[in-house]
Structure 1
Amino acid sequence: MASDWLGSLVSLNCGPTLGVYQGEVSSVDQSSQTISLRQPFHNGVKCPVPEVTFSAIDIKELKILDIRNGNTRTTSSTVAKGSTVPVAVPKGDPRSVEMNSPQQCSKSYGERHLDALGQPKGFRRRHNSWSSTSRGPNQATPKKNGVKNGQMKNRDDECFGDGMADGLDTDFDFEGNLALFDKAAVFSEIDTTERRNGARSRGTPQDQTPTRYRHDENILEGKPIVYRQIVVPQPGPKEYCTDSGLVVPSISYELHKRLLSAAERYGLTLERRLEMTGVCASQMTLTLLGGPNRFTPKNLHQRPTVALLCGPHVQGAQGISCGRHLANHEVEVILFLPNFVKMLDSVTSELTLFNKTSGKQVSSIKDLPDTPVDLIINCLDCHENPFLMDQPWYRVAADWANQNRAPVLSLDPPVSGQGHAVEAKWSLSLCLPLPLAEGAGRVYLCDIGVPLQVFQEVGIKYRSPFGCKFVIPLHSA
């Protein structure tokens, strides 16, 4: 009898369009093939209407959650095997209502039903909840701050339970869903359609491979880069290039002298060049010694030691100028300069300024440190007088530098034909590099402030390769 099912709690699955309804059976009409639910819930949310009627053709699945016979309430586990469904559907119809056996009528996650008072019960099973998993049915509910955990759980269910979709237990199958998408086939279809319609394919012209750019390239079109921006009338035997690829040719010493003579006529005197060379060389030296990682107020007890080996010429004056700037930056500088009978005025002037700093001047190799220093700056060589290498003081100083096991920086070394008595790790050239030998080490170039028109006067087409720096490294082209 249809009346036997009145008051039972059922769950009706009406497909993906209508969703799932749960509620208490209020009436069953076998003639019209309809069933009505009192106080219904739609997808876990209470419906605004007190009663909803369904047709048998809309019901895909029916589950009996709780059976009530008169005033006696029994669970689905007591339903006799072979019980019939209150709504009849033609036999063989694919929309037939499923009648679950007692073993199948279990309360699964996401199913919601009503208790005896008609209030929502068990909106959703809360994971990681001690109150819902670890307490037995006969255990007392502990109190916290005068409020039972059961009451707090009901509040949580009312606050967080509404609006939760059924089936949250089922994890989304990302791999399976991704396997359904054939990327190659889709893009092939798009390309075929766009070619047929004469349209562009993903922002590129038809049958044209898009240009690929590196991370350091500009995607905006501009003027083509000319990597040979310096042209000399008499190229030297070597060519160098900067980090950005600009070609820097070497020049002969004769062209180098003409360039400095022209600059001096326009006011770039020897004193100015010495000062500029000393600043650039000291800045490079400070970087080689550790830069900001070493020169800090907290590291004054580890002052680096630099040994300067200078001769009585312009290169020696450049080294003394560099030593003065290093001493001003808390570097312990030891200057080796023998007591010559005759020295250039520029050397004397630079030596007078150096003696006003904390630097130390020695005239004998015996006064140089026996232990390795942090850096040796070699200014013994001269462009004009290669015979200095035969002097006893020169040979003794060169032997000390080669045996000290400290890295060597050569300042303005001569051309490769003269050779190098001291093996250097770095060499610093001025303005434009000379063709240096392999013993000069890695070549660096410093800007001493020669104007552009001075280059043009001696026949050099020049464009500065320095960028934002005054000292740049050069590589063999």
Structure 2
Amino acid sequence: MAADWLGSVVSINCGDTLGVYQGRVSAVDQINQTISLTQPFHNGVKCLVPEVTFRAGDIAGLKILEIPEGSRRPIHNQPLEHTKILPASNHNGTGKQRPEASSAQNIPQKTDGIANDPAGTSPQPCSKTFVDRQTEGQNQPKNFRRRHNSWSSSSRYPNQVTPKKNGSKNGQHKARDDECFGEDLDEVPATDFDFEGNLALFDKAAVFEEIDTHERRGGGGGARSRGTPSERPPNYRHDENILESDPIVYRRIVVPHPGGKEYCTDSGLVVPSISYSMHKKLLSVAEKHGLTVEKRLEMSGVCASQMALTLLGGPNRLNPKNIHQRPTVALLCGPHIKGAQGISCGRHLANHDVDVILFLPNFVKMLEPVTNELNLFCRTEGKQVSNVKDLPDCPVDLVIHCLDCHENAFLRDQPWYKAAVEWANQNRAPVLSIDPPVTDQEQGVHAKWSLQLGLPLALGEQAGRVYLCDIGIPQKVYKEVGITYHSPFGCKFVIPLHSLQG
């Protein structure tokens, strides 16, 4: 009877198109020639529907994997040759065989197979059914994770063929994908993990109270004490050093005869001023040790030109896309070392695509450093004029003032000096003064910035904002003249100074 096979576990082969199904027989309809399987598996993967029904015309073969305990003993361990396989049926009605026809087959018991084969030459079971695979993991340790592969994973055993799609490459790729990504849907959790509920189980206040209690008893050694806000360790920025160091000494420069004024850098280091006599002595000792006038001129010219380029706009003004707006600088120089420093600065500016106009009066005799710097400047694209009338009538971008001298104050009475000062004050351009002298009188040219060399002089308010540049004087040269010196420049060659006295 067909009812005798209800509850049996069977494997139905529906050909290459539909594949292989496994499941437990739930119904057999003799009239409509159908068979239904519950808890079906398709090619080794559990189906999403609870039950599937097959027509006899779609069944190419049928294997009985297990018989219920009530009717017969299980035969899933029987040799493959004793398992009933239905022949393939065509679609024109010929060759059909009902599923219950297999009930007429005499299926030997397990003990019969052993008795008929005393030598143990019977073939071993061909494969493990999905029931065997489910019960197999019960004897594994807890940390064992069973891998759920598709039907192709059973192809390691004999007499089983992995279903392919007409032997094409796409079928091979799908079988390989199922091998890698096939997973039993029973092990996928139905609900998402409740993060908020799990976090609510953590009592933060109780944990901190326990830590504080442990530290008060001396267990923590006070290393992790939360304490009051004043006792907590400070919070550091990403650019601050968290390693403890020696206390910062802000007065690292000490001069024997201060100039009467003190400055400080942006980092708080105190830079005292010196008198002009100390400044002259410092340059004399440096020249004796090899820091010649030419080296000082080159160094001061580079620092002054770098500061001037920054004042002119830096990369926003000087770039290949903005060559139609080249800045113009007017350079006012006298026939002395200060003038030579200005000429050196103008040469470097001209090398950086700045339109430089040098004003230098014609003199019968000039110092050798001035002549050398002038010869180098004439090799650039800069322009030299000797008359104030040849200077531009329109405002320029920057005026560099190098007319004054520390020792020759009589130059202020010269007609060319007064004419140059008048032109600078009427041009309305900002003025940068290089190494201005200390004077009690108001300077003729009102400077916005002043650049000092080495150590500053005690300049007045008319000098504008004071900057300091490093001209390369060695530290032992400062020590030889009695100055305790530590460089305040850091990573820069030009730094701003702020007055500490009102």
TM-score (norm 1): 0.62
Q: Which runs of 5+ in 1 are unaligned?
A: 1-5, 8-22, 27-37, 48-64, 67-118, 120-155
Counterpart check, 1:404 vs 2:427: yes
Which residue of the partner structure matches residue 224 of structure 1?
247
Which residue of the partner structure matches residue 444 of structure 2?
421
Counterpart check, 1:259 vs 2:277: no
Counterpart check, 1:286 vs 2:309: yes
User: Counterparts of 1:310 and 1:165 in 2: how far apart (Å)?
Assistant: 92
- Contact 1:416 1:435 survives alignment (8 Å): no
Counterpart check, 1:374 vs 2:360: no
CA RMSD for the aligned pairs?
4.6
- Contact 1:241 1:476 survives alignment (8 Å): yes
Residues 45-90 of structure 1: per-residue CA shift (max 9 Å, x gap): 969xxxxxxxxxxxxxxxxx99xxxxxxxxxxxxxxxxxxxxxxxx
Q: Which amino acid aligns with 2:259?
A: G
Alpha-carbon offset, residue 344 of structure 1: 2.9
User: Counterparts of 2:215 and 2:25 in 1: how far apart (Å)?
Assistant: 58
Counterpart check, 1:195 vs 2:248: no
SS at 2:208 equivalent: helix
User: Taking structure 1 as reference, are residues 166 and 275 closer, same or farther at Cα in structure 2, changes over 3 Å only?
Assistant: same
- Contact 2:46 2:184 survives alignment (8 Å): no
Q: Which runs of 5+ in 2 are unaligned?
A: 1-5, 8-22, 27-37, 52-129, 131-176
Q: Which amino acid aligns with 1:300?
A: I
Which residue of the partner structure matches residue 80 of structure 1?
none
Which residue of the partner structure matches residue 237 of structure 1?
260
- Contact 2:301 2:341 survives alignment (8 Å): yes
Greater alpha carbon shift after TM alignment, 465-474 vs 327-336: 465-474
Alpha-carbon offset, residue 434 of structure 1: 0.9
Query: Identity across aligned pairs (percent)?
Result: 74
User: Taking structure 1 as reference, are residues 175 and 350 closer, same or farther at Cα in structure 2, changes over 3 Å only?
Assistant: same
Alpha-carbon offset, residue 319 of structure 1: 0.4
Greater alpha carbon shift after TM alignment, 288-297 vs 220-229: 288-297
Residues 414-454 of structure 1: per-residue CA shift (max 9 Å, x gap): 22634332222221110101112223222221111222222
SS at 1:276 equivalent: helix
Which residue of the partner structure matches residue 207 of structure 2?
186
Which residue of the partner structure matches residue 213 of structure 1?
236
Q: Which amino acid aligns with 2:398?
A: L
Which residue of the partner structure matches residue 433 of structure 1?
456
Greater alpha carbon shift after TM alignment, 383-392 vs 364-373: 383-392
The count of residues paired between Structure 1 and Structure 2 equals 364
User: Counterparts of 1:272 and 1:296 in 2: how far apart (Å)?
Assistant: 29
Q: Which amino acid aligns with 1:189?
A: E
Alpha-carbon offset, residue 378 of structure 1: 0.9
User: Counterparts of 2:39 and 2:302 in 1: how far apart (Å)?
Assistant: 90
Greater alpha carbon shift after TM alignment, 255-264 vs 397-406: 397-406
SS at 1:250 equivalent: strand
User: Counterparts of 1:169 and 1:416 in 2: how far apart (Å)?
Assistant: 90
Alpha-carbon offset, residue 194 of structure 1: 3.2
User: Taking structure 1 as reference, are residues 170 and 354 closer, same or farther at Cα in structure 2, changes over 3 Å only?
Assistant: same
- Contact 1:230 1:463 survives alignment (8 Å): yes
User: Counterparts of 1:187 and 1:399 in 2: how far apart (Å)?
Assistant: 76
- Contact 1:195 1:206 survives alignment (8 Å): no
SS at 2:217 equivalent: helix
User: Counterparts of 2:396 and 2:195 in 1: how far apart (Å)?
Assistant: 64
User: Taking structure 1 as reference, are residues 332 and 179 closer, same or farther at Cα in structure 2, changes over 3 Å only?
Assistant: same
Residues 10-56 of structure 1: per-residue CA shift (max 9 Å, x gap): xxxxxxxxxxxxx9999xxxxxxxxxxx8499xxx969xxxxxxxxx
Residues 185-222 of structure 1: per-residue CA shift (max 9 Å, x gap): 42122111233252235646999643443433322233
Which residue of the partner structure matches residue 301 of structure 1?
324
Q: Which has the larger radius of gyration?
A: 2
User: Counterparts of 2:242 and 2:207 in 1: how far apart (Å)?
Assistant: 28
User: Counterparts of 1:327 and 1:366 in 2: how far apart (Å)?
Assistant: 22
- Contact 1:204 1:210 survives alignment (8 Å): no
User: Counterparts of 1:196 and 1:211 in 2: how far apart (Å)?
Assistant: 25
- Contact 2:451 2:468 survives alignment (8 Å): yes
Alpha-carbon offset, residue 406 of structure 1: 2.3
TM-score (norm 2): 0.59
User: Counterparts of 1:352 and 1:401 in 2: how far apart (Å)?
Assistant: 25
Residues 152-193 of structure 1: per-residue CA shift (max 9 Å, x gap): xxxx99998955689978676666665664534421221112
Which residue of the partner structure matches residue 383 of structure 1?
406
- Contact 1:200 1:206 survives alignment (8 Å): no
Give runs of aligned pairs for residues 324-473 of structure 1, distance below 5 A.
324-415=347-438, 417-473=440-496
Residues 288-342 of structure 1: per-residue CA shift (max 9 Å, x gap): 3233444444443332211101122221111011112222222211011222445
Counterpart check, 1:310 vs 2:343: no
User: Counterparts of 1:381 and 1:467 in 2: how far apart (Å)?
Assistant: 30
Alpha-carbon offset, residue 260 of structure 1: 1.2
SS at 2:297 equivalent: helix
Give runs of aligned pairs for residues 162-173 of structure 1, distance below 5 A.
162=183
Q: Which amino acid aligns with 1:188?
A: E
SS at 1:224 equivalent: coil
Which residue of the partner structure matches residue 86 of structure 1?
none
User: Taking structure 1 as reference, are residues 271 and 158 closer, same or farther at Cα in structure 2, changes over 3 Å only?
Assistant: closer
User: Taking structure 1 as reference, are residues 454 and 168 closer, same or farther at Cα in structure 2, changes over 3 Å only?
Assistant: same
